[in-house]
Each structure stands twice: as structure tokens, then as C-alpha cells.
Chain A
Amino acid sequence: MNWERLLDVVREEGLQLVVQHLELVGISLFIAIIVALPVGILVTRFPLDRYAPQILAFLNTAQGVPSLAVVAIFLPIMGIGRVPSLFALTIYALLPIARNTIAGIEGVDPDVMEAARGMGMSPRRVLLRIELPLALPVIIAGIQTSAVLTVGTATLAHLIAGGGLGRLIFSGISMHRPEYIIAGSLMTAALAILIDQVIGLIHRWISARYSG
């Protein structure tokens, strides 16, 4: 074990890999939000709303599928590289966001909903002015979970040549260089904590504004 070597690794490749990693996380999270939010909303609308509890249960279970399995499943279909990596990460990031969108909207006080509809707000207006703002803290919490998960999962992208901090970890394993493994893991963990804190800050700010 050579500590100087560890610092060298961080200096030489660290920044580039962190940027790559953040790209993977950022892009897949962005797409996941764009897809999961409308899907989540759709599930709470007629006629799907009747099945919302079942869909919620399915999403909770699906979250249990190991991230490695998700990456592995798409390997034979999509091959290797950046795009397949992003695709697998996006799929994995979708679940917490969709789940929390549904749970957040379903969790809006039924009396508030009845008052809103009873005063003659259109369903669209109720969604935009009442349901989404009130569900927003829960939705943000979903994005937070998703982001942290994705930072970890994105290390697997290296396995299908997607780049990112996984490269340090996996080359460390194959070359028996513990300093590589430690550098990669620490940087990934730090990134996860940082992102968690930033979104947590946004979450608290939004909760203070929209809580009931």
C-alpha cells in the first residue's frame, strides 16, 4: 500500500473521472425525472388511479432488483458504451421518483382535494396548484434517493465501458492496487454525500414553503 501513489491517482485521473461520473448521474437523473414525473402523475389520474396502490407496490418491489442485474440485463440488448450505461442508470433512477410522485399525490389530504374540486377548480388547475405543490417535498425526497443511488450504481458503468469512477475501483481490483480501490470508493462516497446534502437543502427549503 502506497499512500503517495493514492494521491497521484487522485491528482492524475480524479477530476476527469469525477466529471464523467457526474455526467452519467446528471444525464440519467434528468431523463428519469422527465419520464417518471409524468408517469407518476398519470398513474394518479383516472382511470389508472384505481390501480395506484398496486403500481406503488410493484415499484417498491422492483427497487429490490440489484443494480448489477439491471446493468447486466441491458448488456446483451444494447451492447457496451456510454449510451447503454445511461439507459441502465436511467431505468434504475426512475423507480424512486415515480414511486414518490405517486405516493406524494396520493398523500394529499382528501379534504383539501374535495374543497378544491368543490369550489370549481378544473382538474388541471387542481393538479398544478394543489396536488403538485403539496406533493413536491415527497417528490424531491424521491429525487434525492434516486440521485444517491445513481451515484453508487454509476460505478458499474465501467463494466460496460461507460466511464466514471468505477474505472478506479475495478482496475484496482484487477491490478491488485488497493489505493485505486480506496481512491475510487472515497470519491464516489464523497460525491454521494455531497449530492445528498445539496438536494436535502432544497428539500428543506421546499418543505418549509409547502408543508401543511
Chain B
Amino acid sequence: MIQFNRVTKRYSSMARPAVDGLSLDVREGETCVFVGPSGCGKTTTLKMINRIFEPTAGEIFVNGENVLTQDQDQLRQGIGYVIQKTGLFPHYTVFENVATVPRLLKWEEGRVAARVRELLELVGLDPDENMQKFPRELSGGQSQRVGVARAMAADPPVMLMDEPFGAVDPITRTQLQNEFLTLQQKVRKTICFVTHDIDEAIKMGDRIAIMNHGQLVQYDTPENLLLAPADDFVAEFIGSDRSLKVLSLLPVRKVLKRQFRMVSETAELSTVRASFDASERNRLVVEDERGNLVGYVSRSDMDKAGSARGWNRFIKPFPAFLPPEATLRDALAVMLQHDIGAVPVMEGRRRFMGMIYLDDIRSYVGEAYQERDSDSSTQEGA
């Protein structure tokens, strides 16, 4: 979808090229994250796609067409563009901001209005509440959402995002990242994304392009990057905690246990004790009659519970829950924070999907590395 063909960019003020002979293909519907230390050429690379910067040599194709031979404004109207500080027009309302490109394309006003509504809903903003606001009335997270909506207004197949979540606080950032991943599941745009944050790259990218001194060092899936870094630079850039980062590749949805021993809150104490006897775990999940999550009981409390009834006063609520799109890394963080060995996964506020156990996380990391090692040994053998 986007092709770089030996692209070089030199600035007259700099001795070495900012981007040096870059060749790379971004596939349709994929998110390609450009990452590297500052000055590695990642932003320049991104901005050559919509010709904010013109390459000194080489060619760039978007959807098979050479960007350098196209009308600059027309090219840009067909590419969504999101920048770090949003660049929202301060004198335009949210509506007018989002309507910018559709109006450039001379859509009729009814269609523009419908599209703006649709987009604001898509990025999680109530249209009626926010349409007439000015950017100064929005929070950082809201501004960035409007920025994304504005970039997607004319439904461009390609989106460029230059550190889109770099200027918001960590909590909002995580939230925006998760929302964006959900959104991308739906819209399947071809996205080029620049960040200096390797964790963000691993989380957001289908493929990651690691750059250094204007050159592409490794272009691979996050998994391959973590498990088989091409050289010392990549390994160092990813960080010594790369085994931990493997965890952020997997949503809990894929690892959670749906089948496990539970007790009903209306059960007899003997039944609960029998369940503990049959289990190795020291805690059991308690559900109500309709299968909703109630909390947990621990083995030691059941040993203390004297009478047959009233054991359920020992039921404790879980201190934390995870949404299904949270990663194993999030799960681990929650477990450490609350000193628990298991976290329930809830869809929305109510629907109980299953549990994540600490052992599952451990075995997942172990397996990932084993698979990798056996893979490489068979390849070497063949």
C-alpha cells in the first residue's frame, strides 16, 4: 500500500542524510510503527509520504501511485494526518474542525454533518455535547480524539500519525491507545505511526520499523523483534526487559481461563470444602445463581468457618478487574499492585468472561521462548 523505494533525504544543514536509502513496504490494513532514538529519521520518513518534506532521492508510492507526481493538495486530502499537538484550528468549532477535509472536497452540507456525527461517535465523543465547543474547551484526550476524527473525516485509506499520543498524560494515553486499537479493528486503515516509545510501538504495531541514523535497522512483527532482535542496537533499544514486553503482545482475552472451579454463593460449606480439597488453589471464585461474579473465598477462611451456613460472610470482592483487551502485562501489573494471584476479566461492567492466573502468564512467556528456540533450530537444520 505504501512503498519506499531507496528514499534518501538530505538537509543542507546536516552532514549525514536524515533518511538514508530507505526501502520498505507497508501492507494494506496494517499499522507500521516507525520507532527509534530522536534524530533517527522516523518523523522525516513519515512526512515524506504526504510531502511535508520532499525526498532528495528515491520514490514513494501510495496505492501504486508515485506521490511526487501527484498534486500536493489532492494527495494530502486523501491521506489522514494526525500530529502530536493535534493542530486543531482554535477558531473553528469541533464540528468545523472535523468537517475540514469533507468541505475541501466540496461534499454537500447534509453529508458533512452526518459524517461529523458518525466520526465523533466513533472516537467516543458525544456529538451533541461537543460539536459546538471550541478546542480550548476540550481536555488533552478529547482534543486528540477530535484530531483523529478530523484525520479520518473523508475516510482516507492511509493515515499518518506523528506521535499522536505523545502529549497526553500516561492514563489518557493508555486509554487512547486501547480505543485506537479497537477502532483500527473496525476500520482497518493502512497506518504509519511514529513514536519514540518502544512500548507503544509494540502495543500498536502490526509491524515495527526500527531506525537509527537514518537507516532501517529491522522491520518485523513485534513478536519477532522481541524474540529475535537483529543486532545489539535493536536489543538495547528494546531494553533488557524484553521478556516482560512479550507480555504486552497478548490480550488477556486470548489467555484467560473460561473453565475453572467455581462455587455458588448458595452452596453448603461442605461443598465448598470439597471443592478446596479437589483443587490445588488456595482461593476459589464465587458466583451467584445466574453466573455473575461475586468474589472469592480463601482456604484458610473456610477452615475457620464453623457452621454450615454463613460461610459466605468470608466472601471478599476482587480488588480489581481487567477488560478483555488489556494485555498480559497489564494483568501482571494489577496482580503485583494488589498482591493477588488471579484477576477476573470483565466485559463492560457486568459480563464475567473468565480468570487470568499468574501461572498462566508465566507459562505463556516460557512457551514463547521455547517455540522460538525450536523454530530457529529447525531452520538451521534445514
Contact = CB atoms under 8 A, between A and B. Distances in A.
A115 B83 contact: yes
B90 A211 contact: yes
Given A120-B101, A121-B100, A134 B77 contact: no
Contacts of B136: 211-212
B76 A117 contact: yes
Contacts of A12: none
A116 interface: yes
Given A111-B83, A111-B86, A120-B104, A134 B75 contact: no
A5 B150 CA distance: 69
Contacts of A122: 73
Interface in A82-116: 109, 111-116
A133 interface: yes
Contacts of A133: 91
A118 B83 contact: yes
Contacts of A120: 72-78, 101, 104
A109 B87 contact: yes
Given A111-B85, A122-B73, A117 B52 contact: yes
A45 interface: no
Interface string B131-175: 000011000000000000011000000001000000000000000
B24 to A, nearest CB: 21
A134 B88 CA distance: 12
Which size bracket describes the interface of B in this complex?
A: 20 to 34
Greatest chain B CB density within 10 A among A114, A115, A117, A121 is at A115
Given A119-B76, A120-B73, A134 B85 contact: no
Nearest to B87: A115
B104 A119 contact: yes
A152 to B, nearest CB: 33
A130 interface: yes
B350 to A, nearest CB: 40
Greatest chain B CB density within 10 A among A112, A119, A133, A210 is at A119
Contacts of A112: 87-90
Given A118-B76, A118-B83, A119-B77, A212 B91 contact: yes
Contact of A115 (B72, B73, B81, B104): B81
A130 B74 contact: no
Nearest to A129: B89
Interface in B57-106: 72-78, 81, 83-91, 100-101, 104
B52 A118 contact: yes
B210 to A, nearest CB: 25
A134 B83 CA distance: 20
Contacts of A125: 104
Contacts of B312: none
A116 B72 CA distance: 13
A209 interface: yes
B81 A119 contact: yes
A82 to B, nearest CB: 40
A112 B136 CA distance: 13
Contacts of A118: 50, 52, 76, 81, 83, 87, 160
A206 B72 CA distance: 33
A90 B214 CA distance: 53
A118 B85 CA distance: 14
Contacts of B160: 118
Contacts of A212: 90-91, 135-136
A51 to B, nearest CB: 18
Contacts of A130: 89
A146 B110 CA distance: 45
Interface in A163-212: 209-212
Contacts of B84: 111
Contacts of B135: 212
Contacts of B104: 119-121, 125
Contacts of A115: 81, 83, 86-89
B90 A134 contact: yes
A130 B87 CA distance: 11
Interface in B331-348: none
Contacts of B73: 120-122
Contacts of A121: 73, 100, 104
A118 B150 CA distance: 12
A124 to B, nearest CB: 10
Given A134-B90, A209-B91, A212-B136, A114 B52 contact: yes
B230 to A, nearest CB: 32
Contacts of B90: 109, 112, 134, 210-212
A134 B87 contact: no
A119 B100 contact: yes
Nearest to A211: B90
A130 B91 CA distance: 8
B91 A116 contact: no
* In the complex, the 9 A-B pairs of residues with the closest C-beta atoms, listed nearest first: A115-B87, A212-B90, A120-B76, A120-B77, A118-B81, A111-B87, A111-B85, A120-B73, A210-B91
Interface of A: 109, 111-122, 125, 130, 133-134, 209-212
Given A114-B52, A120-B74, A120-B76, 14 more contacts: A109-B85, A109-B87, A109-B90, A112-B89, A112-B90, A114-B83, A114-B87, A115-B88, A118-B76, A120-B73, A120-B101, A133-B91, A210-B90, A211-B91
6 contacts: A120-B73, A120-B74, A133-B91, A210-B91, A211-B90, A212-B135
